[in-house]
Each structure stands twice: as structure tokens, then as C-alpha cells.
Structure 1
Amino acid sequence: MNHIDMVLVEDDPMVMAVNEGFIKRIEGFSIISTARTGQEAITIIQSLRPQLVILDIYLPDLDGIQVLKEIRRQGIPSDVIMITAAQDVSTVQDVLRFGVIDYIIKPFKFERIQAALNNYQSYYEQLRDRGEMNQEDLDRLIKISTVGEVEFNLNREGLPKGLREITLHKVFNYLNEKQLCLSAEEVAEGLGLARVTARRYLEYLEKSGKIFLETRYGFVGRPINKYKVKL
């Protein structure tokens, strides 16, 4: 798996340690550097150009908004997730105008940053190695629901060990797009997964009530389990 390079910007050593601990629990990310001041953050981001920056607003010199504006002014193509205690509407609007991927308010639980990083990983993987995108791809990327699409939210605390949310979404979305009854083997082939892996995700989705199971019997051999998204 390709890891997403990250830089963490936080002036409080204890908060930095907590954030690092949370991120190390999430598969697919690599912390390549940290910064405790705004100017240090700009210098590191200029040099390393990470895919993702976790940025606090309240820093001892430049604030996080100034850092965000400066890296945008320089055209540095790093995505930014803001983690801060700032809750005023003007601050939220300001950073959203400069294209942050997410905004997390302190204090926060592990599940919130896990959701943010899983969403970013999905976003990153959808864009990687693409030359162009059609309207359906773009709508899915920016979370626009069209008629007939199914809203899909899972309780991450209930996810069995060994299952990853990003793969769960891929399996569900594949079934949702096909709108057909598909076997684990067909889903595995379509997504490039092992059949046993696809079956585990399908069984979890069926038990969660997101999809339904249909058992089909042929003339010979074992019955085949087919899965389809509930309409």
C-alpha cells in the first residue's frame, strides 16, 4: 500500500503527542515531519511538499490561517485538515474559502480524526493516476447525491477487526453502481480483491442491513449467494 505523507503542525507538545498516537493507529499514513510554529511549518511544507498537512490555527508566531494562505499563494499542492479550538463562523468561512479538506474542533475523539483520514484516503485514491473524470466520478468525489443513490454511513465502532472502512465503502458502492445481484467472486473480480476478503465485507454489510442476500440454486453443485443493495 502507498502511504500518504503527512506533516503535523501543533505548538502544544502534549496535543502533538496525542495526534501522533491517533494517526499511527490509522493504516495508510506516514508522518514525515512535525512543526511547532507557523514559519517552521511553511519551511517544512515548502521543502517536503506532503500530500496532507494537519494544521492548528493557534500558533506562537504566524497563525494557521496565515500558513494556509501562504502555502496557497506559493501554489504548494498540499491538502490541509484544520484541527483547532476556533469555532467562530468567520474563521470557519475563511479557511473553507482556502480549500481545507476538513475542519476538526478540539477536543475531539479518535473516531473523528479516523473518519477524516479515511475520507481523505478515499478522496486521494479516487484522484490518483486519473487523467480525467466524468460527471458521475466528480459527483461521488464531492459527495453530491443524485436521484436513486443510497446514503451510506457506518458506525465505525462496530466494524469488526480486520475490516477497513475505505474497502467497505468500495464494496458497497460497487454493488450500488451495478444495481445487480452479484456473488462474492464477481465483486472480488470487479474490485481486485481476494474472494474471501470480498465475502467478509459482503457478509458484514448484509448483517448490517445495508444489502440483502439472495441464495440461488442451480442444477448441480452448491447454492450461490448473491448480494444486492436495498432500494
Structure 2
Amino acid sequence: MYIDMLTWDTTDMDQVTKWLVETNYHEVWIGLRRDPEQPLVWRWINVKTGEGLTGEDVSESENWVTNPQPNVSCAAYNSLKKKWYSTVCTEQLKFVCYDDNLELVTENKTWDDAINHCRKMSSSKSKCDLLSTTTSSQFSYVRDRIYNATSEEVWTGLRFLGGEWWWSDGETLDHQGMLPDCPSQWEHCGTMSKYNTANWITRDCSERRNFICYCTEVAED
């Protein structure tokens, strides 16, 4: 129904905690569990592949109520204490999932066809476009979301027009220096790599590859 169970690197936990307290959800399952191959290690579930665990060992984190119990394998979150705690996986608790407004399209299209595809996804309740990644904090998350792309790179909403790099939603690129001031005649469109999203890549707009759309809700009159 959603992308996955909640992990600390996918959401703003201050906002989540506030919502949990307001709704009187004080103990909930989160996507944290013991590594079956390393009994003393606790990791987040792997939202990139949907299977297994990933990331650094968090067993020594200050976010635990107490040190994880030695004979249990799952973790929950106490919203009043703002801490994790370990407990048996068979305990019945409410749980928290997360979702976003991104959609990876695993069809190979040119940049123009990709943006048209995204915009045709719009409805009376939402407006859709090719993804505009305006902050560096979004890079690692988007990289995980495009992991299942069938092309190594995916189109984003980045395009060179009138001597400047623009996002398809009309915003200019904050760091113009990260891309060439005068790209070659055909490389006027931007991609992100599923293996390294630290930088945008300029490509020929007529090339065909996967792409990622995003949708935002339209305010009702």
C-alpha cells in the first residue's frame, strides 16, 4: 500500500513524532531490526531493494530507551520518550509506513516524451512533472528511489534554455556552476545516475531512458 515501513533516513522524525503524539499513538513498529548475520548489530530495513537490511550499525545510538535486549529482533518507537526500544517481533503494535510523491517510470523515452508522460499524469487533484531536485539533501533518497530503473541514468526536469539551466517547473538551478555554461549542441538535458547522484549529468535530449516524475496536490478553491 505504501513504499515501506518508516526509517529514520526517509522522514522528518520531529513531524512524525508530533503527529503520533497528537493521535495518541505512543508505541509503534518502525523499520529497524537486528541483523540476522551479526547478532549485536541493528540496521534499518533496505528501502532501496525492498529486501534485507542496510546502513550503519545503530546499536550504539543514543536513540534507544535502553540497550537493545539480547534475545529479541525487532524495534519499535515510543513517541512520548522519543526513543526506540527492542521487543519481540510477535508483539502486536500499530505501525508507521511512509509514502512520497515520486513515481519511477521504467519505460525508455526521450526527454520531451518523458516530460509529456509525467504531465499527462496530472489530474484535478494533482499536478505532475519531471522531478526537480532543488536541494542536495534529496540526492541520496532519490538515488534509492531510482535503484530499480532499467537504465543506468534517469531523466530529471533539468534543461538548458536561453543560456541557463532550468528545472521544468520554472525554477533556475541554484548552482549553475555545477553544469557547463555552454554545453555541446545536443547535451541540453539532465539526468541522475542510480549509482551516483552527487552530480547531475548532461545528455542528448533525444536519447531514450527511464525517468522519474513527481506530483503535488492542487489546492482546492
Report the TM-score range of the alignment, normalised by the length of the smaller protein: under 0.3
TM-score relative to the length of structure 2 = 0.28
TM-score relative to the length of structure 1 = 0.27
Higher fraction of strand: 2
Greater RCO (Cα-Cα under 8 Å, separation 6 or more): 2
Higher fraction of helix: 1
